[in-house]
């Protein structure tokens, strides 16, 4: 089969790999019909990924068709159209069955495409462990594009907004307007926010947020503008979707007393000098971490089916898998309006 593999700094190759095999009776093999590049994939692309491995298949967002199942698979059937949440669980412990794969009690939680431990899904075929849980049949009324966006990006956006404590009437800021940030803007409105400030240095992305109803600001103007607009009170809820020290610091400066900061941007630095004294004095709630996709899907499915959320509109490119290296280059450079890059077989 052909796959996108990592070989070092900005070195993603479309090359042959051995076809995946059933390794456990609960495994399934899925033929990819669509996969996408996540912002966190750029950490690997930039050469400081999550392992020392090279030559492994990358990617953790995909949809496809089940083409082989192990003897222990009972819920997923051959021919099923399925979506793969970015991280897998054991499908046996209480945490995983509740959707919280990050707390797998048997240590089986893992994300696709971070190392050779669990090969990625930017490939023609891939193995899904514990497939009865980790290969989710796409519900009626949801397109493959919508399902693909919910394998990580839309779920993470919703998770970030939910953990920002957004309630009807809340004032909100979203820092970083990549696909996840733009979806977080929409999620905030669905949760009842009365005003959402959308902050990003790229004018085209600010324009998309403004189309969704947000007040779009350049980061250099954000603090002063929001202070003036709120008469110094600032905002109740802030979602940070970048992961840099500067944007986390901005989030903490934008939040009101007794407000909540929700950080979902994958952190780019090893250590951040957290202003604990200021946060303590203001009574802030600070949350950070990655999403467990299965926890968010029960709420997201009806919102997408009803049209309240339309994550597919942030797909900017559709390219063959063979052009994966160029897709990564465009995505990193933010060229040609690059937002969500979808790769299809070919």
Residues in Cβ contact with 303 at an 8 Å cutoff, skipping those fewer than 6 apart: 190, 309
Res 104: pLDDT = 95
Kindly tell me if the per-residue pLDDT of 22 is higher than 90. Answer: yes
Kindly tell me if the per-residue pLDDT of 227 is higher than 90. Answer: yes
Kindly tell me if the per-residue pLDDT of 123 is higher than 90. Answer: yes
176: left (phi over 0), alpha (psi -120 to 50) or beta: left
Res 10: pLDDT = 96
> What's domain 2-152+292-344's architecture?
Alpha-Beta Complex (3.90)
Band of residue 36 on the pLDDT scale cut at 50, 70, 90: very high
Band of residue 186 on the pLDDT scale cut at 50, 70, 90: very high
Domain edges within the chain: 2-152+292-344, 156-288
Res 191: pLDDT = 98
Band of residue 56 on the pLDDT scale cut at 50, 70, 90: very high
Res 157: pLDDT = 98
Band of residue 135 on the pLDDT scale cut at 50, 70, 90: very high
Band of residue 50 on the pLDDT scale cut at 50, 70, 90: confident
**Mean pLDDT, residues 53-71 taken together:** 97
Q: How many Cα atoms within 13 Å fall on the side-chain side of residue 271?
A: 1
List the CATH code of the domain at 156-288. 3.40.50.720
Percent of the chain predicted with pLDDT > 70: 100
Q: What average pLDDT does the structure give for the chain?
A: 96
Task: Count other Cβ atoms within 10 Å, centred on residue 120.
Answer: 26
Kindly tell me if the per-residue pLDDT of 49 is higher than 80. Answer: no
Res 271: pLDDT = 79
Res 111: pLDDT = 96
91: left (phi over 0), alpha (psi -120 to 50) or beta: left
Res 52: pLDDT = 83
Res 273: pLDDT = 87
User: Cα–Cα distance between 124 and 33 in angstroms, integer?
Assistant: 8
Res 17: pLDDT = 97
Q: What is the pLDDT of residues 142-181, one digit of tens each?
A: 999 999 999 999 999 999 999 999 999 999 999 999 999 9
Band of residue 317 on the pLDDT scale cut at 50, 70, 90: very high
Total-model pTM: 0.96
The dihedrals phi and psi of 216, each to the nearest 5 degrees, come to -90, 130
Band of residue 270 on the pLDDT scale cut at 50, 70, 90: confident
Dihedral of CA 33/38/40/46: which sign?
positive
Res 267: pLDDT = 79
Kindly tell me if the per-residue pLDDT of 208 is higher than 90. Answer: yes
Residues in Cβ contact with 23 at an 8 Å cutoff, skipping those fewer than 6 apart: 127, 129
Helix count and strand count (H, E) for the chain: 12, 17
What's the gap between Cα 175 and its chain centre? 15
Band of residue 266 on the pLDDT scale cut at 50, 70, 90: confident
Res 175: pLDDT = 98
Sheet holding 255-263, edge to edge: 215-217, 195-199, 171-175, 235-240, 255-263, 285-288
């Amino acid at each position: 089969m052909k796959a996108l593999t990592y070989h070092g700094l900005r070195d993603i190759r479309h090359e042959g790999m051995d076809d995946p095999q059933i390794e456990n009776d609960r495994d399934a093999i899925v033929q990819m019909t669509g996969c996408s590049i996540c912002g966190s994939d750029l950490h690997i692309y930039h050469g400081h990924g999550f392992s020392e491995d090279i030559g492994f298949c990358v990617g953790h967002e995909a949809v496809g068709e089940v083409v082989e199942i192990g003897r222990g698979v009972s819920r997923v059937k051959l021919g099923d159209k399925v979506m793969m949440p970015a991280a897998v669980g054991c499908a046996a412990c209480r945490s995983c069955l509740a959707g919280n794969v990050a707390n797998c009690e048997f240590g089986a939680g893992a994300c696709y495409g971070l190392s050779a431990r669990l090969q990625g899904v930017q490939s023609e075929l891939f193995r899904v462990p514990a497939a009865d849980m980790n290969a989710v049949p796409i519900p009626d009324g949801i397109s493959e594009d919508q399902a693909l966006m919910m394998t990580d990006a839309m779920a993470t956006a919703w998770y970030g907004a939910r953990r920002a404590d957004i309630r009807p009437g809340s004032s909100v800021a979203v820092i970083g307007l990549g696909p996840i940030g733009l979806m977080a803007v929409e999620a905030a409105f669905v949760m009842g926010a009365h005003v959402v400030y959308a902050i990003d240095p790229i004018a085209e992305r600010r324009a998309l947020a403004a189309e969704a109803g947000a007040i779009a600001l350049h980061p250099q103007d954000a603090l002063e503008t929001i202070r003036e607009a709120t008469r110094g009170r600032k905002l109740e809820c802030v979602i940070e979707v970048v992961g840099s020290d500067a944007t986390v610091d901005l989030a903490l400066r934008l939040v009101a007393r007794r407000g909540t900061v929700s950080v979902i941007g994958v952190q780019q630095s090893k250590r951040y000098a957290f202003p604990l004294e200021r946060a303590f004095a203001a009574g802030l709630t600070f949350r950070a971490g990655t999403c467990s996709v299965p926890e968010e899907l029960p709420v997201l499915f009806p919102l997408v089916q009803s049209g309240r959320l339309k994550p597919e509109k942030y797909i900017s490119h559709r390219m063959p898998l063979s052009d994966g290296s160029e897709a990564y280059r465009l995505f990193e450079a933010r060229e040609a309006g690059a937002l969500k890059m979808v790769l299809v077989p070919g």
